[in-house]
Amino acid sequence: MEIQLQELIDKIKTDGVAVAEQNASKKLADANAEADKIVADAKAEADRIVAQAKEESARFEKASEDAIRQAGRNILIEFRESITKELDTLVKTEVNKAYSKDMLGTLIPTVVEAWVKNTDAEDVGVLLNAKDLKALEQGLQAALKAKLNGGITLKSDDSFEGGFRIVEKDGTAYYDFSADAVADMFATYLNPRIAAILKEATNL
């Protein structure tokens, strides 16, 4: 009887230890699995955060570069417009200076003579601003009379500052030698050249 009781006690102990060990092993395995999952999740989250940070950094860098490029373009455009404006003003100023009394007194008869010869016009009018007309009228009348057989009319027109315009009396032909028109012709040629020079400069 004592032997059977001892065997029962030993069996209970053995079974209990086995169950305890089994439970402990399962809990340890579960704990290890949970720990591995936590580590994997943490690593995945860290990778996601790093990837997002890199993406945002790249986006910010591109936005910064685009902003710098746009600012550079704006500066160049403003500079080109400023240069063009200054050039236009300079050209108009210099053309007005070139249209001196002596220059107009020589140029107008020559241009009118060529105009009449090329167009067969008989009645031609020359428009000058009031100031130039007053200063040049007598000399021009004499010079034009010597060069032309037909009639010539000198008229005042204060719609332009300097230079002159040639018109046929019937209004069928008109040519503008005013300071503004000549300056615009120069500017039309010079402005693309200025733009090309500035473009070349930005590529250096």
The pLDDT of residue 1? 54
Q: Contact at 8 Å (CB) between 86 and 120?
A: no
d(CA 122, CA 148): 9
Helix (H) / strand (E) element for 184: namely: helix 179-202
Q: Which amino acid is at 151?
A: G
Domain ranges of the chain: 1-98, 100-191
In eight-state DSSP terms, residue 173 is -
The pLDDT of residue 63? 84
Angle (CA) 109-112-113 rounded to 5° is 80
Q: How far is CA 10 from CA 2, 6, 16, 24, in A?
A: 12, 6, 10, 21
CATH superfamily of 100-191: ATP synthase, E subunit, C-terminal (3.30.2320.30)
Q: Contact at 8 Å (CB) between 162 and 179?
A: yes
The pLDDT of residue 13? 59
Q: Which residue carries 């010539």 as its tokens? A: 152
d(CA 160, CA 181): 9
The pLDDT of residue 80? 74
Q: Contact at 8 Å (CB) between 125 and 153?
A: yes
Phi-psi region of 38 (alpha: psi -120 to 50; beta: other; left: phi over 0): alpha
* pLDDT (tens place) for every residue of the chain, 204 residues total: 555 666 656 666 565 656 666 766 777 777 777 878 888 888 888 888 888 888 888 888 888 888 888 887 787 778 777 877 887 788 788 888 888 888 888 888 888 888 777 766 667 888 999 999 998 888 888 888 776 665 678 888 888 888 899 887 666 667 888 888 888 887 777 777 776 776 666 564
Q: Which residue carries 């069928």 as its tokens? A: 172
d(CA 119, CA 126): 15
Q: Contact at 8 Å (CB) between 77 and 89?
A: no
